[in-house]
């Protein structure tokens, strides 16, 4: 039997998993999958980070995080920063859950019990952006601020629809977004683009959309960069159609790269979205940390 630390964001998403935690923990104990459980509830930003950073790894066989992409980011950051090697179990309880959906992680009680009982793990890459970390995405430009401008009440009430409605409401101003970027890949390849937006990802899912970066893989020791170049509204509509047909990376309005190190700068003030949370302004240096964390998978 195993010992587990639960790190729980009680207010993440629409609280479907949180409302069944007593049942889940009870089943884990009854089935003799775990024999010791510590539970920690986050109350404010970075609580998950500090708990994962400071907890004694020798006290547990694995850590379970319950929350959305932002909470997962905090816990992963704390574990990577403190060089923890015990596995992380992710219970997706957020609004979009891109990283958990990429790994096809379960959300039903019986399936979660099987996940922990089988204890299959994968060693995943992690992105590092200056002194911060990300599991899924670092992005800037058009629509990249939506995830941290939508209120918690809207997320709880509407779920993922809150993001799409906010995006539609801000569409006129978002379409006017154009940023001049200088990008250096692996200290060698220099790129200059006038862009609508850019995304650096560890997986192929962003904002609930799959295969935006079809080559992305969490074990390949590479980060994927996609740039949407300056274009008209009509061009964006055409690009959306290309995405549905899975041929958007061939569009003249798309640039796609893979690299271990990506430096991005601009003379404009560009805020970075890091796993759905507000990050710093450009310039940033983004690097991949190969096989930085062990995660339980089905």
pLDDT tens by residue, the chain, 298 residues: 899 999 999 876 555 566 778 899 999 999 999 999 999 999 999 999 999 999 999 999 999 999 988 899 999 999 999 999 999 999 988 778 899 999 999 989 999 999 999 999 999 999 999 999 999 999 999 867 666 566 566 655 655 555 555 656 566 666 778 999 999 999 999 999 999 999 999 999 998 889 999 999 999 999 999 999 999 989 999 999 999 999 999 999 999 999 999 999 999 999 999 998 889 899 999 999 999 999 999 9
Domain 2-119 CATH class label: alpha beta
Q: Which residue's structure tokens are 């539970």?
A: 39
CATH code 3.40.50.10330 region(s) in the chain: 2-119
CATH code 2.60.200.40 region(s) in the chain: 132-290
Task: Decide: residue 261, CB within 10 A, 0-12 exposed, 13-18 middle, 19+ buried.
Answer: middle
Domain 132-290 of CATH type 2.60.200.40? yes
pTM (2 d.p.):
0.89
């Amino acid at each position: 039997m195993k010992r587990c630390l639960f790190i729980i964001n009680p207010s993440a998403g629409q609280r479907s998993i949180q409302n069944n935690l007593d049942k889940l923990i009870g089943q884990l104990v009854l089935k003799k999958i775990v024999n010791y459980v510590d539970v920690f509830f986050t109350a404010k930003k970075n609580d998950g980070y500090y708990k994962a950073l400071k907890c004694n790894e020798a006290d547990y066989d694995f850590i379970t995080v319950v929350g959305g992409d932002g909470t997962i980011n905090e816990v992963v950051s704390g574990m990577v920063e403190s060089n923890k090697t015990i596995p992380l179990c992710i219970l997706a309880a957020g609004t979009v859950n891109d990283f958990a959906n990429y790994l096809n992680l379960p959300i039903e009680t019986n399936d979660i019990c099987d996940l922990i009982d089988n204890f299959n793990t994968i060693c995943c890459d992690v992105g590092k952006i200056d002194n911060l970390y990300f599991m899924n995405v670092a992005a800037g430009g058009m629509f990249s601020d939506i995830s941290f401008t939508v209120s918690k009440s809207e997320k709880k009430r509407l779920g993922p629809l809150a993001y799409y409605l906010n995006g539609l409401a801000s569409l006129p101003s978002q379409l006017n977004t154009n940023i001049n970027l200088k990008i250096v890949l692996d200290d060698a390849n220099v790129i200059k683009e006038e862009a609508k937006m850019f995304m650096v990802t560890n997986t192929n899912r962003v904002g609930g959309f799959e295969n935006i970066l079809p080559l992305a893989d969490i074990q390949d020791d590479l980060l994927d960069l996609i740039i949407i170049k300056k274009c008209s509204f009509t061009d964006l509509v055409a690009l959306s159609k290309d995405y549905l047909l899975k041929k958007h990376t061939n569009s003249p309005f798309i640039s796609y790269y893979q690299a271990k190190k990506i430096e991005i700068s601009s003379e404009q003030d560009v805020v970075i979205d890091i796993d759905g949370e507000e990050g710093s302004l450009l310039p940033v240096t983004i690097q991949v940390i190969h096989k930085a964390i062990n995660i339980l998978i089905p």
